């Protein structure tokens, strides 16, 4: 693109004016660089942050900017990185002095020295992230684009400014970033770059798990996550982070019987669910819902391929996977485990939708029944239009039945209608096994539909059950 480009209109936020004034006060040349410029040209909506590079001290500039702003926002200084940050009018502004970087083999943290704007653009990961706009009042909005980033933006290409082999080896996180940007922006990674990622894949080992997971989250949260996972697989990176998914790859055939490729099936499920939810953890559940299939796969002449108990095995694998990736072992993980564990339940009942099966499903899924249904609907990847329609129709029936049962029986947040205390009081007994037996029997009777989910019916049932266990009520029975 030879047009002498100017993006003055990108600098409407009042902060740019202040930065220009502060730069003039300190006699510095300053530029807005990176994601802000890229996303402005791509019209990607309101920016979250602004990166400023100045040929001089970024920290001094940040302090001067704060001085000029009416409310003098606090400047956070990151001495080790020579950067500073302040927040103003809902936006984070990061300041850095232009720098030159050189890398040692064992670390992604470079040795840094002061440099020119061009040096600073050289250290940027991709041509589309090296675009800078001048903030100087003489030429505001002038585009400084030494690596034809604008052309790459228009052609939707991810390209490194310098030799990709060196760029990725220096900081292997960039491999994840390349794939993440390709996924988020729907761009293509230029071929030598892609080859360089494949070549340097082993270098990912020097990147912390937290950083890797951060990028995986961003891939998972994009519109079509499969793009990223296919690239991670193709370049060999996926094996370093999620070998459980690699184990799902491939189709086996014995005596003419084949099973589906569970890796590509999984990616389809993730794309499907992404059309219906932005919940990161539900998307994780979709990604992991079949991981138990690799270790449970068996072939028998009678029934062909089976994956018995894969949901249970898979839910156990979730814990190990989260632990290995240093992901939180909290309620989010438990949610993913629950989704994996229950991922076949709606399918199993959908061919014979009885009240009791639906009650049990709602009881076991509790608050997450909606999420579970969303997962199961996304799991329908058949290419046979008749089957596709039929399966969706079956789930519709399950959903209808869920509403009916819920209206009548209120199972979703099941609270036992007769408490342990009431059982102890009625039979005048201390905490004991019998209480558990009676409570369980009441719950079962409600789920089976033998009694309604109401106190009176449950109380009567308790008396009967107590009698069977040799207990008798010690006080006059409560009036019903």
Quote the tokens at residue 344: 């076949």
CB closer to ligand ATP out of 77 and 463 = 77
Q: Which is nearer to ligand ATP, 87 or 393 (CB)?
A: 87
Is 124 a binding residue for ligand ATP by CB under 6 A? The answer is yes
The reply on whether position 51 binds ligand ATP by CB under 6 A is yes
Can you tell me the distance from the alpha carbon of 377 to that of 272, in angstroms, rounded to the nearest whole number?
9
Interface with ligand ATP: number of residues (CB under 6 A): 11
Shortest separation between residue 169's beta carbon and ligand ATP, angstroms = 12
CB 332 within 8 A of CB 384: no
Give dist(CA 104, CA 257) in Å, integer: 52
**Cβ 109 to ligand ATP shortest distance, Å:** 11
173 binds ligand ATP (CB under 6 A): yes
- Contact flag: residue 171 with ligand ATP (CB under 6 A): yes
Q: Are strands 83-88 and 91-97 parallel, antiparallel or unpaired?
A: antiparallel
Residue 177 or 359 with smaller CB distance to ligand ATP? 177
Contacts of 274 (CB under 8 A, 6+ apart): 222, 223, 224, 225, 283
Full 3-state SS string of 235-271: HCCHHHHCHHHHCCCCCCEECCEECCCHHHHHHHHHH
Report the C-alpha gap between 30 and 21 in whole angstroms. 10
The C-alpha atoms of residue 137 and residue 205 are separated, in whole angstroms, by: 45
Q: Please pick, from the candidates 23, 88, 122, 129, the single residue that binds ligand ATP as defined by CB under 6 A.
A: 129
User: Which one of the spans 169-177, 204-212, 456-464, 472-480 is the region binding ligand ATP (CB under 6 A)?
Assistant: 169-177
Do 9 and 31 contact (CB within 8 A), yes or no? Answer: no
- Region of 168-176, 196-204, 268-276, 446-454 interacting with ligand ATP (CB under 6 A): 168-176
User: Which of the stretches 24-32, 118-126, 204-212, 282-290 binds ligand ATP when contact is defined by CB under 6 A?
Assistant: 118-126
Kindly tell me which of 34 and 466 has the beta carbon lying closer to ligand ATP.
34
Q: Which stretch binds ligand ATP (CB under 6 A): 52-60, 171-179, 282-290, 409-417?
A: 171-179
- Considering beta carbons, is residue 124 or 439 the nearer one to ligand ATP? 124
Question: Which residue's CB atom is positioned nearest to ligand ATP?
Answer: 35
Q: What is the DSSP string of 331-364?
A: HHHHHHHHHHHTTTHHHHHTTS--HHHHHHHHHH
Q: Does 203 bind ligand ATP (CB under 6 A)?
A: no
Taking alpha carbons only, the member of 10, 100, 5, 98 closest to residue 58 is 98
Interface with ligand ATP, residue 174, by CB under 6 A: yes
- Cα–Cα distance measured from residue 255 to residue 303, given in angstroms and rounded to the nearest whole number: 12
In the complex, minimum distance from the CB of residue 123 to ligand ATP, in angstroms, rounded to a whole number = 6
Provide the binding-site residues for ligand ATP, judged by CB under 6 A: 34-35, 51, 123-125, 129, 171, 173-174, 177
């Amino acid at each position: 693109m030879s047009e002498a480009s100017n993006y003055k209109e990108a600098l409407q936020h009042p902060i740019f004016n202040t930065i220009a004034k502060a730069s003039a006060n300190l006699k510095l040349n300053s530029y807005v660089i990176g994601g802000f410029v890229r996303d402005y040209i791509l019209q990607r909506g309101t920016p979250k942050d602004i990166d400023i590079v100045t040929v001089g001290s970024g920290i001094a500039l940040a302090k001067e900017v704060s001085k000029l702003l009416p409310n003098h926002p606090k400047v956070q200084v990151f001495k080790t990185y020579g950067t500073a940050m302040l927040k103003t009018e809902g936006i984070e502004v990061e300041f850095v002095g232009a720098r030159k970087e050189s890398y040692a083999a064992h670390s992604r943290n470079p040795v840094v020295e002061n440099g020119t704007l061009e040096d600073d653009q050289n250290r940027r990961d991709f041509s589309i992230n090296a675009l800078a706009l001048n903030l100087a009042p003489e030429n505001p909005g002038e585009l400084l684009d030494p690596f034809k980033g604008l052309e790459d933006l228009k052609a939707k290409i991810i390209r490194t400014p310098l030799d990709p082999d060196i760029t990725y080896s220096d900081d292997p996180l960039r491999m994840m970033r390349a794939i993440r940007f390709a996924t988020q922006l729907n761009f293509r990674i230029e071929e030598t770059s892609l080859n360089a990622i494949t070549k340097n894949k082993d270098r990912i080992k020097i990147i912390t798990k937290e950083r890797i997971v951060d990028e995986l989250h961003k891939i998972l949260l994009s519109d079509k996550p499969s793009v990223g996972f296919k690239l991670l697989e193709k370049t060999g990176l996926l094996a370093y982070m999620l070998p459980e998914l690699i184990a799902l790859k491939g189709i086996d055939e014995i005596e003419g019987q084949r099973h589906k490729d569970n890796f590509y099936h999984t990616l389809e499920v993730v794309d499907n669910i992404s059309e219906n939810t932005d919940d990161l953890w539900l998307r994780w559940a979709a990604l992991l819902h079949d991981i138990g299939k690799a270790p449970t796969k068996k072939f028998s002449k009678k029934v062909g391929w089976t994956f018995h108990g894969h949901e249970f095995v898979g839910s156990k694998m979730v814990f190990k996977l989260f632990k290995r990736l240093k992901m939180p072992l909290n309620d989010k993980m438990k949610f993913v485990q629950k989704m994996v564990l229950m991922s076949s339940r709606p399918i199993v009942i959908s061919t014979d939708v009885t009240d009791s099966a639906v009650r049990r499903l709602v009881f076991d899924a509790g608050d997450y029944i909606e999420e579970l249904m969303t997962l199961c609907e996304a799991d329908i990847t058949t290419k046979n239009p008749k089957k596709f329609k039929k399966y969706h129709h079956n789930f519709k029936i399950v959903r209808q039945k869920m509403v009916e049962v819920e209206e009548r029986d209120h199972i979703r947040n099941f609270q036992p209608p007769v408490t342990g205390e009431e059982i102890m009081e009625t039979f005048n007994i201390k905490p004991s096994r019998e209480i558990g037996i009676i409570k369980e029997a009441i719950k079962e009777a409600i789920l089976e539909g033998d009694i309604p989910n109401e106190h009176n019916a449950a109380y009567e049932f308790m008396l009967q059950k107590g009698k069977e266990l040799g207990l008798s009520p010690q006080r006059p029975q409560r009036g019903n």
